[in-house]
Amino acid sequence: MNSMDDVVALVTHLCSQDADELKRAEKLLKSVETTAGFHAALQDVYFRVDLPTQVRWMAARTLRAGIERMWRRPTKQAFGADEKAQIRSRALNMLTESDRMLLAQVGAIISKIARLDFPSDWPAVLTDLFALVQSEDPEVRQRALFALHHVIKALVSQKIGLGRRHFEQIAPNLLDACVTLFEASSGQYDPTALYTTLYALKCVRKLLAFGLRKLDPVADRFLSNVAVYLNMYYVNHQEKHVTNLGKLVLDLVEYHGLKWLTYAGTGAVVTWYAEAVLAKSDAIPPPVLIQALLVLKNLIRFASRFTLENGQLHPSTPEEAVAQYNALQTIATPTLLLNLLNALATYYLQYTADDLQSIASDPHDWIIEEDNDHWEYRIRPCASRVVMELANNYTDLIVPALGQLAQSMTSLTMDTATMLAVLNALGPNAEKLSSAVSYVDFFQQFLLPWARQVPATEPLAPLVHRTVAASIGWFMGGSVPKASRPVLYESLAVHFLVSPHPIVQFAAVEALRCSVDDWDFQVAGFLPYLNTLMVQLLTLLGAVDQFELKVKVINCLSVIIERLDKNMAPYAPALAAHIPALWEQADEEHLFQASLLVLLQKLTIALRNESVHLHAICVPLIQVACVADLPSAVYLMEDGLVLWHTLLQFHAPPAPAPPAVVAGVEVPAAGSRLGDLGHLLPLVPALLETGTESLRTALKIVQSYLLLDADTTVATIGAGVMARLHALLGGLAPTTPSSSGSSTTPSVAVVRPQVNAFITRVLDMFLATAPAASLPLLVQSQILTRLVRGVATKHDHTLALVAFVGVLARVALLVTPTEFAAQCGADFPALIGNWYALWDNIGQPPHRKLAALALTRLAPCTLGQLPVLAAIWTEILHEVHESNGGDALIYWQLETTGDEDMDVECGEATRRRDLMRRDPVHTVPMVAFIREAISELAAGLGGMPNLTARLDPEVIAALEPMLK
């Protein structure tokens, strides 16, 4: 910037509402913001009172942004020492404007500089601010107090460092000054005094909650009068002061914990808030009432922090906890707790006139708002949390009282609104009420008749039906005997799901979901009502427009499908028919689309091998959900991959057509076994670049495709998959010459052992299902070189090396020993040496046998390792002997599928068992294989004596039957 006019012009353009002009101005700002003196010039623009307020505000805002980004780490030119000093020296002079918009920016500027430069470079900031606070000019005093609050707020946010230590040293003096300032103006209600006490109170709050290491006499004096201040400002209708005092109390409760119980004035504060709640007055402002409920909630929760034995503190209780426990017992008396319960359960849990108005105008929005988890900002949900804390922490006292309230309901001595409130108090505590309330009797003898008898003209009638329906979900757990549950299922199907009112319908949907999702759920008792419930749920799914509510129905259906399993097959076509339209309607509602994917995955499991009928619906959805480049992938990818993998697992290809006879020669029928799932194959390679959890599922998908149709899979995506697996394994750096001219060990990236295990499992599947087509790809992609180099250099983790040799063993069994050695090149000797060294790390029996087979096959090329190989033979033969002579079947387990979570009934389980029946591990007789290998080795060495001459006597004795 060449002049002040240029800076003013830039700031003016930054205020523009024209998008193009604003974009040009921001680009210019980026190019000049590192120029020396630019930010000091912005401060000069602020001081020019002849400019429009908006321009001055933008100058201050740009200065603040520059301080945030560059003050601590200045560039070569921006914010040099001289410019910083200039800005600091004039910062407090910026407190000349009463405009709130400008003042907010100035307060932020001063506080951010103070946080970074106090006390080293700006030690006088607090002293200078206090000097302005003592000014005779009320306007100056107020603006300085505003800035002081921002500075204290910034300084207490420091947790470590010189600034924090220095602040802790001066915090008592700051507190003394702020308390004195507050006390001098308290009791005065003119605007100046109220402003002073409000911002002094804000400063005191930050200092007490976050600034002091321990309370001093000034803090005790102030805290002992908090209840007095609460009452004084409440009586004089100063809600801001009352709520800021409430914030102080809540901060002390949260950040000081049990210590708060022994602070001066705590008992009086709790009494004030308890009286406010017990007054049950509509005149109390909601923010004050919510703070009262939060204070009481936290007080009640403190009971769970003490360990009791027979009503006494545990002997290991810290000494200070005794006083805290005694203070809690003194404050939270049984009388107070029971009175609170009665007030909450009969008054604060009532539905309000606003609820009734919202239900009448838009019931769907009311349901959505009820489900929003913002309980700490609303009275009724907050009161419900307090009741839950009472029941959890004072069970012996509160649960019988709740039971008495339930009994009072049945006497019909309460009005409808109060009865609803009591039922809302009972519901969240249903688990604890099983001994006090027999729910089935309560439901049949009172709740259901009561709901039926409430006149339809009664404004609370929908809420009565809704709450009674919801109570089924609350109480369905252990308090309802299994034999009695069909009564409740019938009520949901016959009375509540068919209600014309949405709030009743969706309460029934949630209750149904909770009922089916219960641990003790029994299918047999539910089946008679399944058809009716499914018709109603599908009808409701199509009738509602809000996706937040559609998700409720979808989640309920998903739980039902999961629990009823095969019993859902008759309903699958009708349910699946809804999915495409719902997906299209959802558009950008990705969370709802994700719930559809989950539902389809569970429906696939329920249908088992009949899930082929879902392919036409699922494939287009997966083609959208599993494209990593799309923004929706964040929401849909994980569930889409799980659905895809499940479809592959349960896919049952049709029986192959008989071969055709052409010119007397049989020609196999053409066609892939993949069906519609073949359309998804091209998506697979790109998925192998995703995150860890998605990568694991993607690798499982590759294995499933190989099991289904290895030839088609390798031909379509084999090269692409191999290239990405090579990248995932860490690639392969070329050998580099050292300064002496000799080659050094190549630098190969180390991959986490778990990732290696997944990748090598896929490589093993390639070689097992399509060896002829896969082996060339393994070589061309340099994966074989990577595996050989990894083992030869022992660069990777031992677990990874064990996985590597498993794949190399497969390769060694597919080619001749000479070809294998040629593929390994110069690394072959080191590879073999390390492979033998890894033998004791190979723990799984199938992998041990596979390695033994491969090493035995390679023996003609590794005669130097013959003594070690012979020792391995003795181990393997010993294991054969222990298996009662099972030999080839020593490691055979028909149930093994390779996937711990796989359903044994799915088609893939069968395909894996078929593959195992062809696996050398399970088909090659180990004894005969070793005997034949020994014979060949002996012949190559010129006779058995020449072979035994290389072996230890103990090994010869162990192998004697083989050596004859």
The per-residue pLDDT for 166 is 83
The per-residue pLDDT for 27 is 93
Confidence of residue 846 (pLDDT cuts 50, 70, 90): confident
**What is the rounded average pLDDT of the residues 807-814?**
95
The per-residue pLDDT for 332 is 96
Angle formed by the axes of helices 907-918 and 753-769, nearest 10°: 70
**What is the rounded average pLDDT of the residues 294-317?**
88
The per-residue pLDDT for 743 is 42
Nearest one of 132, 151, 152, 150 to 142, comparing CA atoms: 132
Q: What percent of the chain has pLDDT over 90?
A: 68
The per-residue pLDDT for 455 is 87
Confidence of residue 742 (pLDDT cuts 50, 70, 90): very low
The per-residue pLDDT for 45 is 94
Helix (H, G, I), strand (E, B) or coil at 312: strand
Nearest one of 508, 518, 584 to 552, comparing CA atoms: 508
Instruction: Judge whether residue 721 has pLDDT over 60.
Output: yes
Instruction: Judge whether residue 36 has pLDDT over 90.
Output: no
Confidence of residue 465 (pLDDT cuts 50, 70, 90): very high
Instruction: Name every residue whose Cβ is closer than 8 Å to that of residue 136 and which is 6 or more positions away in sequence.
Output: none
**What is the rounded average pLDDT of the residues 716-741?**
72
Residue that wins the pLDDT comparison between 846 and 65: 65
Instruction: Judge whether residue 33 has pLDDT over 50.
Output: yes
Q: What percent of the chain has pLDDT over 70?
A: 92
User: C-alpha angle 510/512/517, rounded to 5°?
Assistant: 95
Confidence of residue 3 (pLDDT cuts 50, 70, 90): confident
pLDDT (tens digit, 9 = 90+) per residue, 855-868?
Answer: 999 999 998 899 99
Q: Beta strand 665-667 with 660-662: parallel, antiparallel or unpaired? A: antiparallel
Rounded Cα distance between 523 and 529, Å, is 11
Per-residue HEC secondary structure of 547-593 comes to HHHHHHHHHHHHHHHHHHHHHHHHHHHHHHHHHHHHHHHHCCCHHHH
The per-residue pLDDT for 134 is 86
The per-residue pLDDT for 168 is 85
The per-residue pLDDT for 722 is 95
Confidence of residue 29 (pLDDT cuts 50, 70, 90): very high
Residue that wins the pLDDT comparison between 888 and 364: 364
The per-residue pLDDT for 731 is 63
**What is the rounded average pLDDT of the residues 807-834?**
94
pLDDT (tens digit, 9 = 90+) per residue, 382-415?
Answer: 999 999 999 999 999 999 999 999 999 988 888 9
Instruction: Judge whether residue 164 has pLDDT over 50.
Output: yes
Of the listed ranges 693-707, 708-722, 771-785, 890-904, the one predicted with least confidence:
890-904
Confidence of residue 663 (pLDDT cuts 50, 70, 90): low
The per-residue pLDDT for 736 is 43
* Pair of tokens at residue 65: 């942004």
Cβ contact 649:704 at 8 Å? yes
pLDDT (tens digit, 9 = 90+) per residue, 604-613?
Answer: 999 998 999 9
**What is the rounded average pLDDT of the residues 513-528?**
92
CB atoms within 10 A of CB 891: 21
Rounded Cα distance between 941 and 960, Å, is 18
- What does the mean pLDDT of the chain come to? 89
Instruction: Judge whether residue 591 has pLDDT over 50.
Output: yes
Q: DSSP letter string over 132-153?
A: HHT-S-HHHHHHHHHHHHHHHH
Instruction: Judge whether residue 311 has pLDDT over 90.
Output: no
Q: DSSP letter string over 682-707?
A: GGHHHHTTS-HHHHHHHHHHHHHHHH
Highest averaged pLDDT of the listed ranges 306-310, 657-661, 869-873: 869-873
User: Whose structure tokens read 């001749």?
Assistant: 816
The per-residue pLDDT for 667 is 46
Q: DSSP letter string over 109-129?
A: HHHHHHHHHTTTT-TTHHHHH
Nearest one of 713, 704, 712, 703 to 757, comparing CA atoms: 703
**What is the rounded average pLDDT of the residues 529-546?**
94
**What is the rounded average pLDDT of the residues 543-551?**
93
Highest averaged pLDDT of the listed ranges 85-94, 886-895, 908-917: 85-94
* Pair of tokens at residue 28: 């210019």
Instruction: Name every residue whose Cβ is closer than 8 Å to that of residue 570 and which is 6 or more positions away in sequence.
Output: none
Instruction: Judge whether residue 240 has pLDDT over 70.
Output: yes
The per-residue pLDDT for 656 is 59
The per-residue pLDDT for 163 is 72
Instruction: Judge whether residue 91 has pLDDT over 60.
Output: yes
Rounded Cα distance between 790 and 731, Å, is 11
Confidence of residue 746 (pLDDT cuts 50, 70, 90): very low
The per-residue pLDDT for 767 is 96
Q: DSSP letter string over 832-890?
A: HHHHHHTGGG--SHHHHHHHHHHHHHTGGG-GGGHHHHHHHHHHHHHHHHHTTT-GGGT
Rounded Cα distance between 406 and 439, Å, is 10
User: Identity (one letter) of the amino acid at 601?
Assistant: Q
The per-residue pLDDT for 348 is 96
The per-residue pLDDT for 895 is 40
The per-residue pLDDT for 339 is 97
Of the listed ranges 212-216, 291-295, 854-858, the one predicted with least confidence:
212-216
Cβ contact 128:92 at 8 Å? yes
Of the listed ranges 95-99, 332-336, 398-402, 558-562, the one predicted with least confidence:
95-99
pLDDT (tens digit, 9 = 90+) per residue, 669-680?
Answer: 445 789 899 999
Confidence of residue 148 (pLDDT cuts 50, 70, 90): very high
Of the listed ranges 310-324, 512-526, 577-591, 650-664, the one predicted with least confidence:
650-664
Rounded Cα distance between 173 and 185, Å, is 19
